[in-house]
Amino acid sequence: MQKFLAIISVMLLSVFHLQGIDNDSPFYSNGVFDKRIKSVQLYKEGWNLSYPVLKLNGTDKLELHFDLIDDNNETYYYTFFHCDRNWQKSDIFTNEYLEGFPENPIDDFRPSFNTTVDYFHYKLLFPNERVSLKRSGNYILYVYPAYDQENPVLTQRFIVTEDDSRIDIKMHRPMMTIADNAGQQIDFTVNISGLNIIDPARNVFAFILQNGRWDNAKKNLQPEISGGNQLIYNSLSDKNIFIAGNEFRYFDIRSIKYLSENLVSIDFIPPNYHFFLKPSENRQLKPYFYYKDFNGKYYIATSQGKEADTDADYVYVYFTLNSNNVPAGSNVYVTGNMNGWSAGSDNLMKYNNVSRQYECTMLLKQGWYNYEYSLQNKVGSPLISTVFEGSYYETENDYMVLVYYRGPGDRYDRLITTGTANTLNNLSY
């Protein structure tokens, strides 16, 4: 009886208390709030370069991976928050979108093996036998220390879709002269047959993500044409045009013995390994050159062990950028999926007056990384990579279209369908 009452107490606490995080909180974004937490990744089970998308009532799972840089492990719990299309908390209770126990421990963690930096690797698969998701839409995975729910160590966004086969995406060079050589226009048509959509011109909202990023997403697009069973998004304005960017820079630090492309040297300065990248040049005015990349992602791997999760070491990586076009008062950052496309102290580059270049040192886990250099004119302003990378309509990019519906009287945004496309296979000139 006492065990039953304890379970009920936890569930009631979740129904009411978990709704209390303020909408302005950074916890509704992809974030890391403990300096000891590194290498956070969330992707489909077994597919570490995929985007974190689940199909409602489907069989797929998502994998969360992260490391705690410490000699001792800690106990972490996780829960989920349902959000609207704009990543504000939804007006539904926890028991309306979660089935099972809303708060659960992460049981799968292991110490690193034979590494210069000690850490514990944590892994979570969900949905699982303890908890599953009952509604489509936007979700936050919220990880926190035991008995300290108000101070998470990390948060990650993911989405749950009702369908993934209703969107036809077409990509082409923009017709607007100002962006025709540097941009990519995303047009698409949504099939809404059988969905019982009321007033789609007012109640359907589309988002477009480039390479899985939310920071530069096109938001709350409404159809240009709504007729029959189709919603057509084919705009002559700039609202569905993206700066194409460039292929991402890359480096390979899987081996501590052999120099890979873009490395100058590998030094062991006890107790750590130090990897020095070749100095980077500004690519803004250079001709476009295609090569295969991971669209800003990274994957963990090592050549000196069998189990990358626990055998890959943490090493110091040194970045240098030669560029003389940085406006006074602006900051330069090394950005990519490895730091959530964010501007922080760990990836801030500092100008060296002696060498006359921007420099940054980052502690990274062995693997293969994509990255770019970005400019921020002032704190909180968008990151701009074109200053250092250039932008070319030929650049290979992933695009994901998300279509939400909120009908009259609904209390949350349904994610009714999603679609993905790649410019390498579907870009017309």
Give 276's pLDDT tier (boundaries 50, 70, 90).
very high
> Bridge-partner residues for 172, per DSSP?
185, 428
Q: Which of 161, 189, 218 is the last residue of a domain?
A: 161
Quick one: average pLDDT of 395-422? 97
Give 227's pLDDT tier (boundaries 50, 70, 90).
confident
Contact in structure between 362 and 334 (CB atoms under 8 Å) = yes
Give 3's pLDDT tier (boundaries 50, 70, 90).
very low
pLDDT digits (tens, 9 = 90+) for 99-110: 999 999 999 999
Q: Do 309 and 322 belong to one domain?
A: yes
**Dihedral sign of CA atoms 39, 40, 43, 49 in order:** negative
Quick one: average pLDDT of 174-189? 84
> Position 196: which residue type?
N
Q: What CATH number should be reported for the domain holding residue 156? A: 2.60.40.10
| pLDDT over 50 (residue 128) | yes
Q: How many domains does the chain have?
A: 3
Local structure of residue 181 (DSSP, 8 states): T
pLDDT of residue 69: 99
Please, where are the H alpha helices in 148-190?
A: none
| Spatial separation of the C-alpha atoms in residues 160 and 163, rounded to whole Å | 9
| Spatial separation of the C-alpha atoms in residues 272 and 253, rounded to whole Å | 14
Q: Do 262 and 314 belong to one domain?
A: yes
pLDDT of residue 338: 97
| pLDDT over 80 (residue 17) | no
Q: Which of 126, 161, 196 is the last residue of a domain?
A: 161
pLDDT of residue 281: 96
Local structure of residue 247 (DSSP, 8 states): P
pLDDT of residue 325: 87
Q: Do 207 and 307 belong to one domain?
A: no
**Dihedral sign of CA atoms 146, 149, 151, 156 in order:** positive
The pLDDT > 90 percentage for the chain reads: 85
Pairing outcome for strands 357-365 and 348-352: antiparallel
Task: Match 């990384």 to its residue by tokens.
Answer: 369
Q: Do 290 and 153 belong to one domain?
A: no
Q: Do 86 and 107 belong to one domain?
A: yes
The pLDDT > 70 percentage for the chain reads: 92
Quick one: average pLDDT of 7-19? 41
| pLDDT over 70 (residue 5) | no
pLDDT of residue 180: 75
| pLDDT over 80 (residue 37) | yes
Q: Do 114 and 239 belong to one domain?
A: no
Q: What CATH number should be reported for the domain holding residue 211? A: 2.60.40
Poorest-confidence range of 10-24, 32-46, 68-82?
10-24
| Spatial separation of the C-alpha atoms in residues 329 and 349, rounded to whole Å | 13
Q: Do 368 and 398 belong to one domain?
A: no
Q: Which domain holds residue 181?
A: 167-244+394-428
Quick one: average pLDDT of 234-259? 93
Q: Do 109 and 141 belong to one domain?
A: yes
Q: Do 102 and 74 belong to one domain?
A: yes
Q: Which of 161, 186, 210 is the last residue of a domain?
A: 161
Poorest-confidence range of 138-147, 158-167, 229-238, 282-291?
229-238
| pLDDT over 90 (residue 429) | no
Quick one: average pLDDT of 77-84? 98
What token pair was written down for 134?
A: 């009952």
Quick one: average pLDDT of 57-70? 98
| pLDDT over 90 (residue 242) | yes
| Spatial separation of the C-alpha atoms in residues 385 and 397, rounded to whole Å | 15
| pLDDT over 90 (residue 176) | no
pLDDT of residue 302: 98
| pLDDT over 80 (residue 236) | no
Torsion from C-alpha of 238, 241, 246, 250, nearest 10 degrees:
130
| pLDDT over 70 (residue 192) | yes
pLDDT of residue 77: 99
The rounded mean pLDDT for the chain is 92
Quick one: average pLDDT of 164-181? 84
Quick one: average pLDDT of 273-287? 97
Q: Do 107 and 188 belong to one domain?
A: no
Give 23's pLDDT tier (boundaries 50, 70, 90).
low
Q: Do 383 and 408 belong to one domain?
A: no
Phi, psi of 7 (to 5 degrees): -65, -45
What token pair was written down for 1?
A: 């009886």
Q: Do 259 and 239 belong to one domain?
A: no
> Bridge-partner residues for 77, per DSSP?
105, 144
